[in-house]
Structure 1
Amino acid sequence: MIFSLFKRKKANAAVVGRQYQALTDAARDPGFYTAMNVPDTVLGRFEMVCIHMVLYFRRTRAAGEAVEQLSQDIVDAFFEDIDHSIRELGIGDTGVPKRMKTLARMFYGRGKSYGDALDASNRAGLAEALLRNIRPDSAAAGAQDAASMLPLADYMIRADTALGKVTDATLAAGLVVFPAASNAEA
Protein backbone atom coordinates (compact mmCIF):
# COMPACT_ATOMS: atom_id res chain seq x y z
CA MET A 1 0.00 0.00 0.00
CA ILE A 2 2.69 2.50 0.95
CA PHE A 3 4.69 1.59 -2.16
CA SER A 4 1.77 2.52 -4.41
CA LEU A 5 1.85 6.00 -2.86
CA PHE A 6 5.49 6.43 -3.89
CA LYS A 7 4.79 5.04 -7.37
CA ARG A 8 1.89 7.50 -7.84
CA LYS A 9 4.00 10.43 -6.64
CA LYS A 10 6.75 9.51 -9.09
CA ALA A 11 4.27 9.15 -11.96
CA ASN A 12 2.77 12.56 -11.16
CA ALA A 13 6.15 14.29 -10.83
CA ALA A 14 6.34 15.52 -14.43
CA VAL A 15 2.73 16.72 -14.43
CA VAL A 16 3.11 18.38 -11.02
CA GLY A 17 6.36 20.02 -12.10
CA ARG A 18 4.83 21.32 -15.33
CA GLN A 19 1.72 22.70 -13.64
CA TYR A 20 3.59 24.20 -10.70
CA GLN A 21 5.96 25.90 -13.14
CA ALA A 22 2.97 27.37 -15.00
CA LEU A 23 1.56 28.67 -11.70
CA THR A 24 4.81 30.33 -10.68
CA ASP A 25 5.44 31.69 -14.19
CA ALA A 26 2.00 33.29 -14.17
CA ALA A 27 2.74 34.84 -10.76
CA ARG A 28 5.95 36.36 -12.12
CA ASP A 29 4.22 38.25 -14.96
CA PRO A 30 5.74 41.76 -14.82
CA GLY A 31 2.33 43.33 -15.40
CA PHE A 32 1.33 42.62 -11.80
CA TYR A 33 4.28 44.58 -10.48
CA THR A 34 4.25 47.43 -12.98
CA ALA A 35 0.54 48.04 -13.54
CA MET A 36 -1.41 46.43 -10.67
CA ASN A 37 0.16 47.92 -7.54
CA VAL A 38 1.82 44.68 -6.38
CA PRO A 39 5.21 45.34 -4.76
CA ASP A 40 8.10 43.51 -6.43
CA THR A 41 9.32 42.04 -3.14
CA VAL A 42 9.59 38.56 -1.66
CA LEU A 43 6.18 38.99 0.00
CA GLY A 44 4.67 40.55 -3.13
CA ARG A 45 5.75 37.52 -5.13
CA PHE A 46 4.45 35.19 -2.41
CA GLU A 47 1.09 36.97 -2.68
CA MET A 48 0.98 36.47 -6.43
CA VAL A 49 1.80 32.77 -6.15
CA CYS A 50 -0.95 32.48 -3.51
CA ILE A 51 -3.44 34.19 -5.83
CA HIS A 52 -2.67 31.80 -8.68
CA MET A 53 -2.76 28.79 -6.37
CA VAL A 54 -6.14 29.89 -5.00
CA LEU A 55 -7.52 30.32 -8.52
CA TYR A 56 -6.16 26.91 -9.54
CA PHE A 57 -7.62 25.17 -6.49
CA ARG A 58 -10.99 26.79 -7.00
CA ARG A 59 -11.11 25.05 -10.37
CA THR A 60 -9.70 21.71 -9.25
CA ARG A 61 -12.14 21.28 -6.36
CA ALA A 62 -14.88 20.52 -8.90
CA ALA A 63 -12.80 17.93 -10.78
CA GLY A 64 -12.40 14.20 -10.23
CA GLU A 65 -10.26 12.24 -7.80
CA ALA A 66 -7.17 12.12 -10.05
CA VAL A 67 -7.15 15.91 -10.35
CA GLU A 68 -7.77 16.23 -6.62
CA GLN A 69 -4.65 14.15 -5.94
CA LEU A 70 -2.69 16.20 -8.46
CA SER A 71 -3.74 19.40 -6.74
CA GLN A 72 -2.61 17.97 -3.39
CA ASP A 73 0.77 17.17 -4.92
CA ILE A 74 0.96 20.77 -6.16
CA VAL A 75 0.22 22.06 -2.64
CA ASP A 76 3.06 19.86 -1.40
CA ALA A 77 5.38 21.27 -4.09
CA PHE A 78 4.34 24.81 -3.11
CA PHE A 79 5.19 24.30 0.54
CA GLU A 80 8.46 22.52 -0.33
CA ASP A 81 9.33 25.54 -2.47
CA ILE A 82 8.49 27.90 0.39
CA ASP A 83 10.60 25.83 2.79
CA HIS A 84 13.53 26.00 0.38
CA SER A 85 13.09 29.75 -0.12
CA ILE A 86 12.97 30.41 3.63
CA ARG A 87 16.20 28.50 4.09
CA GLU A 88 17.81 30.44 1.22
CA LEU A 89 16.87 33.67 2.98
CA GLY A 90 19.01 32.51 5.90
CA ILE A 91 16.38 31.32 8.35
CA GLY A 92 17.86 28.59 10.51
CA ASP A 93 16.44 25.10 10.95
CA THR A 94 14.81 26.01 14.26
CA GLY A 95 12.94 29.00 12.78
CA VAL A 96 11.64 27.29 9.66
CA PRO A 97 8.67 25.38 11.19
CA LYS A 98 7.31 28.52 12.86
CA ARG A 99 7.54 30.53 9.64
CA MET A 100 6.05 27.68 7.61
CA LYS A 101 3.07 27.54 9.97
CA THR A 102 2.58 31.31 9.64
CA LEU A 103 2.83 31.19 5.83
CA ALA A 104 0.44 28.22 5.65
CA ARG A 105 -2.08 30.11 7.79
CA MET A 106 -1.67 33.14 5.50
CA PHE A 107 -2.19 31.00 2.39
CA TYR A 108 -5.35 29.28 3.62
CA GLY A 109 -6.73 32.58 4.97
CA ARG A 110 -6.26 34.16 1.57
CA GLY A 111 -7.93 31.18 -0.06
CA LYS A 112 -10.99 31.72 2.09
CA SER A 113 -11.24 35.50 1.74
CA TYR A 114 -10.57 35.53 -2.02
CA GLY A 115 -12.84 32.54 -2.58
CA ASP A 116 -15.69 34.11 -0.60
CA ALA A 117 -15.41 37.35 -2.59
CA LEU A 118 -15.24 35.49 -5.92
CA ASP A 119 -18.20 33.26 -4.98
CA ALA A 120 -20.24 36.36 -4.13
CA SER A 121 -19.10 38.21 -7.29
CA ASN A 122 -17.96 40.94 -4.89
CA ARG A 123 -15.36 42.92 -6.86
CA ALA A 124 -15.02 45.62 -4.18
CA GLY A 125 -14.71 43.03 -1.41
CA LEU A 126 -12.03 41.21 -3.40
CA ALA A 127 -10.12 44.48 -3.89
CA GLU A 128 -10.33 45.15 -0.13
CA ALA A 129 -9.03 41.65 0.68
CA LEU A 130 -6.19 42.11 -1.81
CA LEU A 131 -5.30 45.47 -0.28
CA ARG A 132 -5.22 43.97 3.25
CA ASN A 133 -2.88 41.22 2.11
CA ILE A 134 -0.71 42.89 -0.52
CA ARG A 135 -0.52 46.42 0.85
CA PRO A 136 -1.24 46.08 4.59
CA ASP A 137 0.34 49.51 5.18
CA SER A 138 -2.40 51.05 3.00
CA ALA A 139 -5.33 48.97 4.24
CA ALA A 140 -6.20 51.40 7.02
CA ALA A 141 -6.73 54.17 4.48
CA GLY A 142 -9.86 52.46 3.18
CA ALA A 143 -11.85 52.50 -0.04
CA GLN A 144 -9.66 54.97 -1.91
CA ASP A 145 -6.65 52.67 -1.62
CA ALA A 146 -8.79 49.58 -2.25
CA ALA A 147 -9.51 51.08 -5.67
CA SER A 148 -5.82 50.63 -6.47
CA MET A 149 -6.41 46.87 -6.26
CA LEU A 150 -9.37 46.83 -8.67
CA PRO A 151 -7.21 45.97 -11.72
CA LEU A 152 -5.87 42.93 -9.84
CA ALA A 153 -9.38 42.01 -8.68
CA ASP A 154 -10.54 42.24 -12.29
CA TYR A 155 -7.67 39.99 -13.35
CA MET A 156 -8.66 37.42 -10.72
CA ILE A 157 -12.29 37.49 -11.85
CA ARG A 158 -11.27 37.03 -15.49
CA ALA A 159 -8.81 34.26 -14.63
CA ASP A 160 -11.41 32.50 -12.45
CA THR A 161 -13.88 32.63 -15.36
CA ALA A 162 -11.24 31.36 -17.81
CA LEU A 163 -10.25 28.52 -15.49
CA GLY A 164 -13.90 27.54 -15.17
CA LYS A 165 -13.80 26.67 -18.88
CA VAL A 166 -10.73 24.42 -18.56
CA THR A 167 -11.54 20.74 -19.06
CA ASP A 168 -10.79 18.07 -16.47
CA ALA A 169 -8.49 16.41 -19.02
CA THR A 170 -6.42 19.59 -19.28
CA LEU A 171 -6.25 19.76 -15.49
CA ALA A 172 -5.18 16.11 -15.24
CA ALA A 173 -2.44 16.67 -17.83
CA GLY A 174 -1.08 19.68 -15.91
CA LEU A 175 -1.61 21.99 -18.87
CA VAL A 176 -3.56 24.84 -17.27
CA VAL A 177 -2.40 28.22 -18.54
CA PHE A 178 -3.33 31.50 -16.87
CA PRO A 179 -4.24 34.69 -18.70
CA ALA A 180 -1.42 37.23 -18.96
CA ALA A 181 -1.58 40.21 -16.64
CA SER A 182 -1.10 42.49 -19.62
CA ASN A 183 -4.35 41.15 -21.08
CA ALA A 184 -6.31 41.89 -17.92
CA GLU A 185 -7.95 44.93 -19.48
CA ALA A 186 -8.75 43.21 -22.79
Structure 2
Amino acid sequence: MAAARQPEFYLSYGVEDSVTGRFELIMLHAYLFFYRLKEEDEEARALGQAVFGRFFQDMDDSLREQGVGDLSIPKKIKKMAQSFYGHIQAYDLARDESPAALAIALSRNIYGTEAEARPEATGLAQYVVASSEKLKLQSVADFSKGELTFLTIAPFQAE
Protein backbone atom coordinates (compact mmCIF):
# COMPACT_ATOMS: atom_id res chain seq x y z
CA MET A 1 0.00 0.00 0.00
CA ALA A 2 2.78 2.43 0.92
CA ALA A 3 4.51 1.97 -2.43
CA ALA A 4 1.27 2.75 -4.28
CA ARG A 5 0.86 5.94 -2.25
CA GLN A 6 4.13 7.52 -3.36
CA PRO A 7 3.17 11.10 -4.27
CA GLU A 8 5.28 11.05 -7.46
CA PHE A 9 2.79 8.69 -9.13
CA TYR A 10 0.12 11.36 -8.81
CA LEU A 11 2.25 14.49 -9.14
CA SER A 12 4.45 13.76 -12.12
CA TYR A 13 3.09 10.53 -13.65
CA GLY A 14 -0.43 11.88 -13.91
CA VAL A 15 -2.19 9.00 -12.16
CA GLU A 16 -5.60 10.26 -11.08
CA ASP A 17 -5.61 10.91 -7.34
CA SER A 18 -8.94 9.19 -6.79
CA VAL A 19 -10.23 5.91 -5.45
CA THR A 20 -9.85 4.44 -8.94
CA GLY A 21 -6.32 5.76 -9.48
CA ARG A 22 -5.16 4.56 -6.09
CA PHE A 23 -6.79 1.16 -6.66
CA GLU A 24 -4.97 0.84 -10.00
CA LEU A 25 -1.62 1.47 -8.32
CA ILE A 26 -2.38 -0.91 -5.47
CA MET A 27 -3.25 -3.58 -8.06
CA LEU A 28 -0.01 -2.84 -9.94
CA HIS A 29 2.09 -3.33 -6.81
CA ALA A 30 0.15 -6.46 -5.84
CA TYR A 31 0.80 -7.74 -9.35
CA LEU A 32 4.53 -7.14 -8.90
CA PHE A 33 4.50 -9.11 -5.66
CA PHE A 34 2.54 -12.02 -7.12
CA TYR A 35 4.72 -11.99 -10.24
CA ARG A 36 7.77 -12.39 -7.99
CA LEU A 37 6.24 -15.40 -6.24
CA LYS A 38 5.08 -17.07 -9.45
CA GLU A 39 8.17 -19.26 -9.92
CA GLU A 40 8.66 -20.14 -6.25
CA ASP A 41 7.82 -23.28 -4.29
CA GLU A 42 4.50 -24.32 -2.76
CA GLU A 43 5.20 -22.50 0.52
CA ALA A 44 5.74 -19.22 -1.35
CA ARG A 45 2.59 -19.76 -3.39
CA ALA A 46 0.69 -20.35 -0.13
CA LEU A 47 2.05 -17.03 1.12
CA GLY A 48 0.85 -15.43 -2.11
CA GLN A 49 -2.61 -16.92 -1.63
CA ALA A 50 -2.74 -15.61 1.95
CA VAL A 51 -1.71 -12.13 0.79
CA PHE A 52 -4.29 -12.30 -2.01
CA GLY A 53 -7.00 -13.16 0.52
CA ARG A 54 -5.91 -10.34 2.80
CA PHE A 55 -5.77 -7.93 -0.15
CA PHE A 56 -9.41 -8.56 -0.98
CA GLN A 57 -10.43 -8.54 2.67
CA ASP A 58 -8.88 -5.08 2.85
CA MET A 59 -10.88 -4.05 -0.23
CA ASP A 60 -14.03 -5.37 1.49
CA ASP A 61 -13.20 -3.38 4.63
CA SER A 62 -12.58 -0.24 2.58
CA LEU A 63 -15.93 -0.56 0.83
CA ARG A 64 -17.67 -0.92 4.18
CA GLU A 65 -15.86 2.17 5.50
CA GLN A 66 -17.10 4.07 2.44
CA GLY A 67 -20.65 3.13 3.36
CA VAL A 68 -21.28 0.57 0.64
CA GLY A 69 -24.21 -1.65 1.60
CA ASP A 70 -23.66 -5.24 2.69
CA LEU A 71 -25.67 -6.67 -0.20
CA SER A 72 -23.63 -4.97 -2.94
CA ILE A 73 -20.17 -5.65 -1.48
CA PRO A 74 -19.85 -9.22 -2.87
CA LYS A 75 -20.71 -7.94 -6.37
CA LYS A 76 -18.15 -5.15 -6.10
CA ILE A 77 -15.46 -7.52 -4.78
CA LYS A 78 -16.20 -9.93 -7.64
CA LYS A 79 -15.82 -7.08 -10.13
CA MET A 80 -12.52 -6.03 -8.49
CA ALA A 81 -11.22 -9.61 -8.64
CA GLN A 82 -12.17 -9.90 -12.32
CA SER A 83 -10.41 -6.61 -12.99
CA PHE A 84 -7.33 -7.78 -11.10
CA TYR A 85 -7.15 -11.05 -13.05
CA GLY A 86 -7.59 -9.12 -16.30
CA HIS A 87 -4.75 -6.77 -15.35
CA ILE A 88 -2.48 -9.70 -14.46
CA GLN A 89 -3.13 -11.32 -17.80
CA ALA A 90 -2.59 -8.07 -19.72
CA TYR A 91 0.64 -7.25 -17.86
CA ASP A 92 2.03 -10.77 -18.24
CA LEU A 93 1.32 -10.87 -21.98
CA ALA A 94 2.70 -7.38 -22.49
CA ARG A 95 5.88 -8.11 -20.50
CA ASP A 96 6.49 -11.15 -22.67
CA GLU A 97 6.10 -9.02 -25.80
CA SER A 98 8.11 -5.82 -25.18
CA PRO A 99 8.56 -2.77 -22.94
CA ALA A 100 6.44 -0.78 -25.41
CA ALA A 101 3.61 -3.32 -25.10
CA LEU A 102 3.85 -3.08 -21.30
CA ALA A 103 3.60 0.71 -21.52
CA ILE A 104 0.45 0.36 -23.65
CA ALA A 105 -1.09 -2.09 -21.14
CA LEU A 106 -0.28 0.28 -18.28
CA SER A 107 -1.71 3.19 -20.26
CA ARG A 108 -4.92 1.31 -20.91
CA ASN A 109 -5.39 0.15 -17.31
CA ILE A 110 -4.12 3.14 -15.35
CA TYR A 111 -4.95 6.04 -17.65
CA GLY A 112 -7.80 4.62 -19.75
CA THR A 113 -5.93 5.28 -23.00
CA GLU A 114 -6.49 2.65 -25.66
CA ALA A 115 -4.46 3.20 -28.82
CA GLU A 116 -0.98 4.14 -27.64
CA ALA A 117 1.02 4.58 -24.48
CA ARG A 118 1.09 7.91 -22.73
CA PRO A 119 4.65 9.13 -22.19
CA GLU A 120 4.23 8.66 -18.44
CA ALA A 121 3.31 5.01 -19.01
CA THR A 122 6.74 4.40 -20.53
CA GLY A 123 8.21 5.59 -17.23
CA LEU A 124 5.81 3.33 -15.33
CA ALA A 125 6.88 0.39 -17.50
CA GLN A 126 10.50 1.09 -16.56
CA TYR A 127 9.45 1.22 -12.90
CA VAL A 128 7.69 -2.15 -13.23
CA VAL A 129 10.75 -3.82 -14.74
CA ALA A 130 13.15 -2.25 -12.21
CA SER A 131 10.83 -3.10 -9.30
CA SER A 132 10.67 -6.71 -10.48
CA GLU A 133 14.46 -6.84 -10.44
CA LYS A 134 14.55 -5.39 -6.94
CA LEU A 135 11.97 -7.89 -5.70
CA LYS A 136 14.07 -10.77 -7.12
CA LEU A 137 16.80 -9.76 -4.67
CA GLN A 138 14.46 -10.14 -1.71
CA SER A 139 13.81 -13.51 -0.10
CA VAL A 140 10.49 -15.20 0.39
CA ALA A 141 11.47 -15.54 4.07
CA ASP A 142 11.62 -11.75 4.28
CA PHE A 143 8.22 -11.51 2.57
CA SER A 144 6.83 -13.92 5.17
CA LYS A 145 7.96 -11.48 7.87
CA GLY A 146 6.23 -8.60 6.09
CA GLU A 147 9.50 -7.17 4.77
CA LEU A 148 8.86 -6.08 1.21
CA THR A 149 10.63 -3.15 -0.39
CA PHE A 150 9.64 -1.53 -3.66
CA LEU A 151 11.60 1.11 -5.50
CA THR A 152 11.05 4.78 -4.80
CA ILE A 153 9.78 6.12 -8.08
CA ALA A 154 11.79 8.99 -9.54
CA PRO A 155 10.03 12.07 -10.90
CA PHE A 156 8.87 11.65 -14.48
CA GLN A 157 11.11 13.28 -17.07
CA ALA A 158 9.55 13.71 -20.50
CA GLU A 159 12.02 12.78 -23.23
Task: Give ranges in structure 2 of 5+ residues lacking alignment.
Answer: none
Shift of 1:56: 0.5
Shift of 1:184: 8.0
1:65 and 2:42 aligned: yes
Question: 2:102 maps to which residue?
Answer: 126
Question: 1:96 maps to which residue?
Answer: 73
- Report % sequence identity: 35
Match of 1:27, as an amino acid?
A: A
Matched residue SS, 1:178: coil
Match of 2:108, as an amino acid?
A: R
- Report if the CA contact (8 A) 1:155-1:184 is conserved: no
- Report if the CA contact (8 A) 2:12-2:155 is conserved: no
- Report if the CA contact (8 A) 2:12-2:156 is conserved: no
> What TM-score results when the alignment is normalised by the length of structure 2?
0.89
Write the distance in 2 (CA, Å) between the matches of 1:62 and 1:184. Answer: 31
Question: 1:52 maps to which residue?
Answer: 29
Write the distance in 1 (CA, Å) between the matches of 2:71 and 2:7. Answer: 34
Shift of 1:104: 0.5
Match of 2:64, as an amino acid?
A: R
RMSD: 1.8
Question: 2:6 maps to which residue?
Answer: 29
Q: How many residue pairs end up in the alignment?
A: 157
Greater gyration radius? 1
Write the distance in 2 (CA, Å) between the matches of 1:88 and 1:169. Answer: 33
Matched residue SS, 2:3: helix
- After TM superposition, the structure 1 = structure 2 runs for residues 7-18 of structure 1, keeping only pairs within 5 Å, are none
- Report if the CA contact (8 A) 1:60-1:171 is conserved: no
Matched residue SS, 1:114: helix
Q: Deviations over 1:136-181 (max 9, x none)?
A: 2xx24x32x5333111111111111221222333333332210111
Write the distance in 1 (CA, Å) between the matches of 2:143 and 2:41. Answer: 10
Q: Which has the higher helix share?
A: 1
Deviates more, 1:173-182 or 1:79-88: 173-182
Write the distance in 1 (CA, Å) between the matches of 2:38 and 2:125. Answer: 21
Deviates more, 1:168-177 or 1:55-64: 168-177
> What TM-score results when the alignment is normalised by the length of structure 1?
0.77
Q: Deviations over 1:62-90 (max 9, x none)?
A: 22222211111111111011111112222
